[in-house]
Structure 1
Amino acid sequence: MKPKNVWRKLSQRFKKVDSPFTRNLGWLGLSGAVIRVTRLLTTVVLARFLTQHDYGLVAIVLTVNDIVRVFTRNGIGTRLIQAKAEDISQLAQSAYWLNWAISIALFITQCIAAFPLAWFYRDDQLILPICTMAISLLLLPHGLVQAALIQRENRLKAIAVVEMVQFSTDNILSLIFAIAGWGMWAIILPKLLVPPIWVYIMLKNHSWRPKLKFTTVGWSDLLRFGRNVLGVELLNNLRGNLDYLIVGRFLSIEALGIYYFAFNAGLGISLGIITSIKSALLPHLCDARANLPQFKQRYFSSLKTISLIILPMVLLQSSLAPIYVPIVFGEKWIPAIPVLILICLSAIPRPFADSASQLLIAVDKPQIDLLWNVIFTVLFSVTLLIGVQWQSIGVATTVLLIHAVCLPLFTIWVTQYVFKRLSAVEK
């Protein structure tokens, strides 16, 4: 069957699905599947052509860029998704110029930070790639408002397509550059080359264009709402990268290379699906806020969908790791298998906690989500510093235990709090 016919049949099936959440999750899942296939091929090639030291350097460079880049996920887009229709025109214009101010500041910050970081990790090879990665920050403001408006309109098919094209191109370029012998640059350069693709597709899929007149009107509204969302993103990002920073500093660059490989090979697929769930859930919930029974039904139905997707996938992947890692990636990565299994299992409670966070944002309670993330990050940091005493396996065990204990408690409490409060208000 021709690819065009396959795509047409998939489109027709998705259109027949009644639930917008399931339909959007289907598109994002399809996109994720294509991305994971190309990433798997790339990971296999990288594992065979890159050294553990290369992996360690890449882990530091990408971690630094990821920490800086989180400031672009600052709640401005979330505010546009959640705002009233009559406020969108002015807020979108304000958001455009605020995004530019933030991106320029972040570009300068990342370039300056490259020098003390190279000193901290005792490796001058980090300076140039960290500064090179910063250039991509200057492309984001061209499409951030359009991306938020597309998500607001629940047209996540466009988001799925751009992610599929962008990340698949990134993966394929990395594969080609690795075979060409470019070392760590095989991973870094594609992340500079593909953002223009994202900008082009965003502009093509939404007609909104900024006025050329600079304005700061509405910045206070955007920043006031966004500070809680940004706080949560910062803490999520810190937790997502803290283990890298600790392993790289307290163990070695080579140990970090093994840990980074295990994390991406074990959790990479799951994190992609979790991100898709998070993207689809917020507009799905916000659309039903005025109808409590429907709002409640959508939330619990989403949790059921998450269970059916995440549980079988994670359990299957973790149980088969001892078999597929040496065959697919090579015997030199056998020491990473125990770490991979532990990290993979930590994916199970994550999407449920993310759903609870989206529930809080949908009912205008992002400050509670921020408070929880502060508490969880402190606990996570302390336990990681204890776990690193037992090398990489201790860090991975800590990651699993802290997620398995804390995230279910948070999910249960938020669910009870929100729906008890809404029921009381309705009565």
Structure 2
Amino acid sequence: MNFTQQVRNQLTNKLSNQFIRNISWLGASEVIIRLSRLATTVVLARFLSPNDYGLAAVVITIHEFFFVFTRYGANAKLIQANQAEIKDLSNSTFWLNWMIFYSLFLLQCLAAFPLSIIFHDSQIILPLCLMAASYLILPLGTIQADLIARENRLKITAFVNIVQLSLGNLLTIILAILGLGMWSIVLPRLLVAPIWVFIYRRNHPWRPTSKFTTKGWGEIFNFTKSILGTELLKNLRNNLDYLIIGRFLGIEALGIYYFAFNAGLGISMSIISAINSSFYPYICAVKSDFSAFKHRYFSSLKFIGIIIFTWVLLQSLLAPYYVPIVFGEKWVNAIPVLILICLSAIPRPFENAAAQLLIAVGKPNLVLQWNLLFTLIFAGGIIIGIHQQLLGVATAVLLTYALFLPLFSVWATKYVFGSNSKYQAASHNL
């Protein structure tokens, strides 16, 4: 066999790997999305003031806090469950979703009023209530989305992401040019929700086969309670710097920080999101075969490392050159913050992979405990950093992520695959 044929066969073998195929689909979708988002960020940087950015950041941050309850862990249960359980679990989750999502609609609308007092701006009330309206339609497509992920048909997920987010970015550009300020960021999130539902329902035949039932809710909550707790802590951690900056440094400072975060970490987080969406169903598919399970985990980490290190380092080095050219001179003072936030992306996908590993082996409680500990550490770092203004906050973000996330990643990996691990011992006894 000549060299060309060997290379061709190696590439074919790699591309047959389900994880890499899924990453490829989701990665390709993220490239398209990021191109549209880049255009969006450029337009927003030209047409929105730091104050507009700050108001949008407050609204989106609060909405994300409530939205995290829609990711309470039922999707992880459906992906992990045995085939015999799927029918009953799907029906139970469908009705549970309606109860949770409608409750979130009411709670977000009610919370808008006291929150406007806390942030000293009544302009956030109406957008918060309008964004809450998306909860009233999303349950129609959530089970279909979860089952598609379970079946590793992430090509559809990639297509949904392209259509939904690219259209949302296009609407944002149009509204920003029309002078709608923060509404150009807020309104598209509501307007594209029906599209998400339509595509998922079109691509999966599942429909509820029973009337309202609470059967199985206890089992679902027992599995998802730690996952929900983890998601809440992650959401708090992801938005804690926004909340503290907005409260103590002001809306304009928050606008500068929010720009730096999105321009610096936005693409990296898109890559990380694609990895996360592919990783969990990929390793769960072979969790009954410990050897294959271990191989998939470590081979995926190598692939993740190549992608994330290359991209983040390249973006950080080029930031001083592309920010003034692409976004405008008024954002030059955000460059140091942008670089620090961008570098904090490097350890994130490895920590996410380690957390998903623990969930796959039925230990979401350990992930919850870790996130509680790290959130306290992160909050302490932000409180210390705020005394040095925005640069201090960005430094605190980088240091806490760079120092503590690798420790958890190594510990979780040894917990599952170490020589003294009960999972390792069980595999030897098979």
Q: TM-score range by the shorter chain?
A: over 0.9
Deviations 1:31-76 (A, max 9, x none): 0000000000000000000010000000000001101000000011
Give the match for residue 5 of structure 1: none
**Secondary structure of the corresponding residue to residue 25 of structure 1:** helix
Give the match for residue 376 of structure 1: 374
Cα deviation, residue 211, structure 1: 3.1
Cα deviation, residue 233, structure 1: 0.7
Are the equivalent residues in 2 in contact too, given 1:235–1:374 (CA < 8 A)? yes
Distance 1:39 1:382, change over 3 A: same
Are the equivalent residues in 1 in contact too, given 2:337–2:391 (CA < 8 A)? yes
Are the equivalent residues in 2 in contact too, given 1:38–1:168 (CA < 8 A)? yes
Please say if 1:426 is aligned against 2:427.
yes
Aligned partners of 2:62, 2:398: CA distance in 1, in Å? 23
Cα deviation, residue 16, structure 1: 7.8
Aligned partners of 1:14, 1:307: CA distance in 2, in Å? 21
**Secondary structure of the corresponding residue to residue 180 of structure 2:** coil
2:45 to 40, 44, 47: 47
Aligned partners of 1:211, 1:103: CA distance in 2, in Å? 20
Cα deviation, residue 348, structure 1: 0.2
Distance 1:15 1:35, change over 3 A: farther
Are the equivalent residues in 1 in contact too, given 2:61–2:239 (CA < 8 A)? yes
Give the match for residue 224 of structure 1: 222
Aligned partners of 1:272, 1:137: CA distance in 2, in Å? 23
Aligned partners of 1:41, 1:55: CA distance in 2, in Å? 16
2:412 to 394, 414, 419: 414
Whichever residue aligns with residue 114 of structure 2, its letter is P
Give the match for residue 215 of structure 1: 213
**Secondary structure of the corresponding residue to residue 172 of structure 1:** helix
Are the equivalent residues in 2 in contact too, given 1:14–1:26 (CA < 8 A)? no
Whichever residue aligns with residue 162 of structure 2, its letter is M
Whichever residue aligns with residue 321 of structure 1, its letter is A
Give the match for residue 5 of structure 2: none
Moved over 6 A (4+): 13-16
Please say if 1:199 is aligned against 2:197.
yes
Aligned partners of 2:209, 2:134: CA distance in 1, in Å? 23
Give the match for residue 400 of structure 1: 398
Give the match for residue 8 of structure 1: none
Cα deviation, residue 122, structure 1: 0.5
Give the match for residue 123 of structure 1: 121
Cα deviation, residue 212, structure 1: 5.6
Are the equivalent residues in 1 in contact too, given 2:91–2:210 (CA < 8 A)? no
Q: Structure 2, unaligned stretches of length 5 or more?
A: 1-10
2:265 to 236, 242, 267: 267
Cα deviation, residue 426, structure 1: 2.2
Whichever residue aligns with residue 194 of structure 1, its letter is V
More deviation in 272-281 or 416-425? 416-425
Please say if 1:315 is aligned against 2:313.
yes
Are the equivalent residues in 2 in contact too, given 1:49–1:181 (CA < 8 A)? yes
TM-score (norm 2): 0.95
Aligned partners of 2:288, 2:103: CA distance in 1, in Å? 39
Are the equivalent residues in 2 in contact too, given 1:14–1:23 (CA < 8 A)? no
Aligned partners of 2:222, 2:387: CA distance in 1, in Å? 41
**Secondary structure of the corresponding residue to residue 208 of structure 2:** coil
Deviations 1:214-270 (A, max 9, x none): 100011111111111111111111110000000000101000000000000000001
Are the equivalent residues in 2 in contact too, given 1:15–1:23 (CA < 8 A)? no
Give the match for residue 102 of structure 2: 104
Cα deviation, residue 294, structure 1: 1.1
Aligned partners of 2:354, 2:381: CA distance in 1, in Å? 23
Whichever residue aligns with residue 81 of structure 2, its letter is A
Please say if 1:279 is aligned against 2:280.
no
Give the match for residue 38 of structure 1: 36
Aligned partners of 1:290, 1:208: CA distance in 2, in Å? 26
**Secondary structure of the corresponding residue to residue 215 of structure 1:** coil
Taking only the aligned residue pairs, the percentage that are identical comes to: 58
The count of corresponding residues between Structure 1 and Structure 2 is 415
Please say if 1:86 is aligned against 2:84.
yes
Give the match for residue 180 of structure 1: 178
TM-score (norm 1): 0.96
2:322 to 316, 321, 324: 324
2:154 to 153, 156, 175: 156
Aligned partners of 1:332, 1:180: CA distance in 2, in Å? 21
Whichever residue aligns with residue 425 of structure 1, its letter is A
Q: How does 1:48-67 map onto structure 2 within 5 Å?
A: 48-67=46-65
1:247 to 245, 248, 265: 245
Cα deviation, residue 349, structure 1: 0.2
Whichever residue aligns with residue 306 of structure 1, its letter is I
Whichever residue aligns with residue 23 of structure 2, its letter is L
Distance 1:228 1:117, change over 3 A: same
Are the equivalent residues in 2 in contact too, given 1:277–1:351 (CA < 8 A)? yes
Cα deviation, residue 410, structure 1: 0.5
C-alpha RMSD of the superposition: 1.1
Aligned partners of 2:32, 2:162: CA distance in 1, in Å? 7
**Secondary structure of the corresponding residue to residue 213 of structure 1:** coil
**Secondary structure of the corresponding residue to residue 288 of structure 1:** coil
Q: Structure 1, unaligned stretches of length 5 or more?
A: 1-12
**Secondary structure of the corresponding residue to residue 216 of structure 1:** coil
